[in-house]
Structure 1
């Protein structure tokens, strides 16, 4: 199993506070990896460190064998990385149709509309007027439409109904099986996400507390 991207002894500071305490984290290629943790655990920071939207204070980011620690986020995006953050993930002043057209290399939003049929009735609406769950569908559609090989998603199911969230996790699993590398940061391991994932990391207070298969994590997490 080849490694697509990894953090090596990665440290991140926000002013006087250290959010990641020298963690090592390897993401396997063509797999779905989940970063679990409560708020403040460091899972979102780890995802942003991979994407380059927060700088490391120490350590390295290695992507496909190359040190990209100093490579800015826009350059990583050009090389085939797509980040879907947990906030400000859509262009609120643009319509849903315009958001989808920007994400699709050929301007065809059909794969997103097939995945989320509810978006068809919202194509003319400005994204900023949508509910939280509807905005997340538009945001996740970027991952479905983008040609990127490495997809990083922070809480993709946030605000979605249980059925739509399960469908989203299944879609992300399909992307991984089709040859793309998917990393999802979530607070908890929903059943659909557990079924789609191959690897789970749990972060606690800026350190990796667990790394292994979902079934193993579920056994160790039981009281």
Structure 2
């Protein structure tokens, strides 16, 4: 299994607080990786560290064997990294159509994936519901055809169950058909039907890795810990 990008002994500090404590996190190519953890566990910080949105206080970010620790976020984006944050993932003052036009791909593909966006094209993104904004945000990843690394924080936040299931399927295709390394930061493990075979799960607690394996192993481990 080829590692696309990885954190090596990564440490991130926010003032006096350390959010990641020497985290080693390999992210394989053509695979869905799920980062689990409660709020404050370090999930979002790990994504931002991979994307270059926060600096490391120690450790490295390695992409296909090259040290990109000092490479700024916009350069990583140019090389094929797409980050979809949980907050401020859309431009609130722009319309849905204008947000889609900023993505590098064909907006029609996003509308095929999320037909509910069609009647909202003239609406400003800031007026959308949480689920609608999430659909628009995830469209960024779907419309980045050359993406090699796709990082999505809380991909289905606010979505109805059917739309959430469709979203997991669309993100899974980026890995299984497009060959991208897809990382999803979640508080809970997605439903079994939403994850492709070979999905990896890493659980974080207080900035440290406490579990790595496949979804069934996590379920068994949780039952045994009780």
Instruction: Tell me the TM-score range normalised by the shorter chain.
Output: over 0.9
Q: How does 1:73-222 map to 2 (within 5 A)?
A: 73-105=73-105, 108-147=106-145, 148-178=147-177, 179-192=179-192, 195-196=195-196, 198-222=199-223
Q: Distance in 2 between matches of 1:23 and 1:214?
A: 21
Residue range with higher mean Cα deviation, 174-183 or 133-142:
174-183
Q: How does 1:67-78 map to 2 (within 5 A)?
A: 67-78=67-78
* Shift, 1:165, TM fit: 1.0
Q: Distance in 2 between matches of 1:81 and 1:48?
A: 11
Q: Distance in 2 between matches of 1:174 and 1:214?
A: 18
2:70 pairs with 1:62: no
Return 5+ residue gaps in structure 1 as ranges. Answer: none
* Shift, 1:194, TM fit: 5.7
* Shift, 1:214, TM fit: 1.2
Q: Distance in 1 between matches of 2:53 and 2:181?
A: 19
Q: Which deviations, in whole Å up to 9, do the C-alpha atoms of 1:47-86 show, x marking residues without a partner? A: 1100010110000000011000011111100111000000
* Shift, 1:104, TM fit: 3.1
Q: Distance in 1 between matches of 2:127 and 2:192?
A: 29
Q: Distance in 1 between matches of 2:221 and 2:33?
A: 18
The TM-score, its normalising length taken from structure 1, stands at 0.96
Q: Distance in 1 between matches of 2:193 and 2:98?
A: 29
Residue range with higher mean Cα deviation, 48-57 or 145-154:
145-154
* Shift, 1:160, TM fit: 0.8
Residue correspondences, number: 221
Return 5+ residue gaps in structure 2 as ranges. Answer: none
Q: Distance in 2 between matches of 1:207 and 1:133?
A: 30
